[in-house]
Structure 1
Amino acid sequence: MHEVSLNRVITDYLTGQEIMDTTYEDLRQALAKLLVEDRKYPRENIQSKYALDYSINGEPHSVAIDLAVFSPAGDPLLALVFCPGEVGTFVRESVAAARIHLPSPFPLVIVTDSMELLLVETKTSEVIGSGFNAVPRWSDLQDLAHAHPCPLPGEDRLDKERRILAAYDGLGGPCCGSECGI
């Protein structure tokens, strides 16, 4: 997701710290608020703009997962990705990101444009829920993640998933005519 700075500072809902506002930050903040206030996720288990760093043939790449949810023990549970377009077209890219997360994949992915939402099982890319009612409650999330385990792919599959992610990420082009600094 490429976004542009709006040259103003806002207070981050999750951390209370001042952050730069961007074209999609209001949506990320609203989704974080939904997870915490409606679905009862502990703030400390959610990371905003979670950096997913990887390399292909030694060349570094990085993408940001809008909201990454971890268990109290630090295990990845859910990657939530905002997409500025048709939700279904962003599923493959989001699943690739979830699969390459180390040391273990995110078993569940949510892809949303703030109007439509798909809950996807990472291992098979199967849509297991749609609409905002499909966002699991915190009390159900760990059981749902355990019901849909995603083992770490072998190195050959990881390489393919990294290349898929890089290809999708490259299709977006630079967000503001130069290197994205957000």
Structure 2
Amino acid sequence: MHESSLGGTLRDYLSGEEIDETTFEEFRQLLARLLVEEKGYPKDRLKAKVPLKYCVEGEEFERIIDFVLYDGQGVPVFLVMFCAGDVSTFERETVCAARLIDGGPVPYALVTDTMDATLLDVRSGDEVARGMNAVPDFDRLEKMVAAAEVKPLTAEQREKQTRVFHTYCGFVCGDHCECTLPPMPTFPLKK
């Protein structure tokens, strides 16, 4: 399913600004409320629709990350990606995004469809917890982040992660991606 405009606007929970109403925006707004009101995330440190820009073979692309949480110094520490579909199919893409985000990598990331979720250890790529109870409250997340070992990617690691991320983005292009991939080629069936 692709994200489509519904032709209206709604008030963004985090910024208070009027934004386009889309097929996924209502879910993002519910997720923002959950993170702030139920899980205690500071509203002023949670940013929505953060662009992740990357380059493959000289061509620039952009993938919007639904939410990024920053620490008090403006360093990203947690990334949340909304998905439409089976959460597990978006885990690898989410880990790559968390490794590539500007100022990152972040130690933990979450992928959710607002009914299911997977909390991921970005360094290892492993699942930490599953289900909506996997969404850590802010106090717990701060302790997890403080204990995490985060190392910047080498140029070679960044290149590899970018290619993997781009491949995943190509599979879901249209859901969130602002990339302009050409349509997949079609081949005639043999009779």
Deviation at 1:2, TM superposition (A): 4.6
Partners of 1:103 and 1:28 lie apart in 2 by 23
2:94 alignment counterpart: 94
Instruction: Give unmatched runs, 5+ long, in structure 2.
Output: 181-191
Seen in structure 2, the aligned counterparts of structure 1 residues 3 and 143 have a Cα distance that, compared at 3 Å, is same
Q: In the TM superposition, what are the counterparts of 1:65-144 in structure 2 within 5 Å?
A: 65-144=65-144
Partners of 1:174 and 1:81 lie apart in 2 by 15
Deviation at 1:34, TM superposition (A): 0.3
2:45 alignment counterpart: 45
State the TM-score, normalizing by the size of structure 1. Answer: 0.91
Q: Deviations over 1:126-155 (max 9, x none)?
A: 111122222121122222113233311111
Q: Percent identity?
A: 35
Matched residue pairs, number? 178
Partners of 2:49 and 2:156 lie apart in 1 by 27
Instruction: Give unmatched runs, 5+ long, in structure 1.
Output: none
Partners of 2:118 and 2:38 lie apart in 1 by 18
State the TM-score, normalizing by the size of structure 2. Answer: 0.87
1:147 alignment counterpart: 147
Say yes or no: does 1:172 pair with 2:190.
no
AA matched with 2:133:
N
Deviation at 1:24, TM superposition (A): 0.5
The structure 1 segments of at least 4 consecutive aligned residues displaced by more than 2 Å after TM superposition are 146-150, 172-175
Partners of 1:70 and 1:38 lie apart in 2 by 18
Q: Which has the larger radius of gyration?
A: 2
Partners of 1:154 and 1:77 lie apart in 2 by 19
CA RMSD of aligned residues (A): 1.8
